[in-house]
Structure formats: structure tokens, C-alpha cells
Amino acid sequence: MSENKMLQIAKSRYTTKHYSGKLIPREQFRELLEVLRLTPSSVNAQSWKFIVVSTKEAKEKILEGFLDFNQERVAKASDIIVFAVPEKITEEHLQKVLAQEIKDGRYAKESVIEGLDAGRRHFVGLHSQTVADTLAWETAQAYIALGFVLFAAAGMGIDSTALEGVDYDKLDEILGLRERGLRSVVAVSLGYRAENDSNASRPKSRLPTEDVFEEFVG
């Protein structure tokens, strides 16, 4: 029996250390952005912004927001996406999400809309006691999106790196995020590996099954 395609991708995907500078075809890149748009989020709140950085000039402007070891990746990658989340989920945003759900036909009966909207607001409220609460919850949602795009990119033959070596205060300043009530929380570089990327030839190393799974039998 042939190995599952998803498992093949998981086995072959790796964190790219050096990029070639080659551009991702724009149609393919738009498909990756659509993957991000379709990413699930808790109570479908979709409280994120994905800031796309593609031109040479734009990448040069954000370099100062990344630690030294990440700067070559930012410069040589085809595209960078910065994931930002809100300090507060606003009433305007909640109404926008609800209006889009109604437009998309999410609710078969109008009678359920008020209750489902109230349910979303309940969970948003649980995680909005402080700015720190909101940022923690929304950062967790952003990492769901990060996982989606890393896996989708690998399936499309595109290399990637989750960029956590970031001066977030500086990156927020460069991108003008704080004045919009947003904070950067992670970024991803996308493109194609350089020929000398040594990480491509290293064997994948993960803990064995018995160390990471346990079964609860009640």
C-alpha cells in the first residue's frame, strides 16, 4: 500500500535556513493566501491580519524588525507574511463576522442567529478580561493559521520558515500596527531553498511514538 500523501508531506517538509531568491509564481502565492483566509479559528472570530511583504523594497524596510540570524531569510525569501492579532476584539469586528456568516448562508434558520452570535460573544468575553488575555488567545489562533500555511506550502513544493527571531516592538513600529490596535506575533518566510541549504539534507529528528502519545482508557 502506498504511503498517504499527507504523511509524505509531513516527513519531507523541513525548516528552510537559506533561500535562493527565486519568486513564487503569483497564482500559487494567491492560493497560499487563500489557505490562510480559510484557516479555522475559535468561534470563527477570524481576529487576525496577515501582512504580506513581497517587494525587495518592502523586505528591506522590515529587516530591522528581525534578529540577525533571520535577516538573510527575510531578504532572500520570495515573500514574508507577518501575523498580527488585535489587542481588543471590537464590536465592529463581531458585527462584520456575523454579517458575513449570514451572507454566506451559514444559518438555515434566522431564529438561531441571535443565540449563536451570543455564544461567540460569550467566548470572546472569556478571553478578553485584559489585553494580555486577548493577545494570548488570539496568538494561539494565529499559530493555527501558521500551521496551515506551513503544511500547504510544503504540499505545493514551496519551502518555508516560521520566523520567531523577531523584535516585535520594532516590527510593530515599522508596520504601524500599534496605532491600529494590532500586535505582530509571528512571521513566516516562503520561497525556495538555496542549493547550499544544509538543513535540507539533515534527517528529521522527532521523539518516538511512545514518548509523545498516551492513551486514556478511563
**H or E segment to which residue 106 belongs:** none
**What is the grid cell recorded at 8?**
509524505
53, β-bridge pairs: 80
pLDDT digits (tens, 9 = 90+) for 172-203: 999 999 999 999 999 999 999 999 999 999 99
Burial of 139 (0-12, 13-18, 19+ CB in 10 A): middle
The pLDDT of 196-211, averaged and rounded, is: 95
Q: What is the rounded distance in angstroms from the CA atom of residue 186 to the CA atom of residue 168?
A: 8
pLDDT band at 161, cuts 50/70/90?
very high
Cα-atom radius of gyration of the chain, to the nearest Å?
Answer: 20
Beta sheet of 159-163, edge-to-edge order: 49-53, 79-86, 182-191, 159-163
Q: Is a pLDDT exceeding 90 seen at residue 2?
A: no
pLDDT band at 1, cuts 50/70/90?
low
Q: What is the rounded distance in angstroms from the CA atom of residue 15 to the CA atom of residue 36?
A: 19
pLDDT digits (tens, 9 = 90+) for 60-92: 999 999 999 999 999 999 999 999 999 999 999
Predicted TM-score (pTM) of the model is: 0.95
Q: How far is CA 145 from CA 22, 40, 48, 95, 211, in A?
A: 24, 8, 10, 22, 26
Asked if 83 and 50 touch (Cβ cutoff 8 Å), the reply is yes
The pLDDT of 111-118, averaged and rounded, is: 92
Q: Where are the beta strands (DSSP E) in the chain?
A: 49-53, 79-86, 159-163, 182-191
- How many C-beta atoms lie closer than 10 Å to residue 94's C-beta? 17
Q: How far is CA 173 from CA 51, 179, 189, 202, in A?
A: 14, 9, 20, 37
Q: What is the rounded distance in angstroms from the CA atom of residue 153 to the CA atom of residue 170?
A: 27
What per-residue confidence (pLDDT) applies to 124? 96
pLDDT digits (tens, 9 = 90+) for 3-41: 899 999 999 999 999 999 999 999 999 999 999 999 999
Mean pLDDT of the chain: 96
pLDDT digits (tens, 9 = 90+) for 129-147: 999 999 999 999 999 999 9
What per-residue confidence (pLDDT) applies to 109? 87
Backbone conformation region of residue 181, classed left if phi is above 0, alpha if psi is from -120 to 50, else beta: left
What per-residue confidence (pLDDT) applies to 48? 97
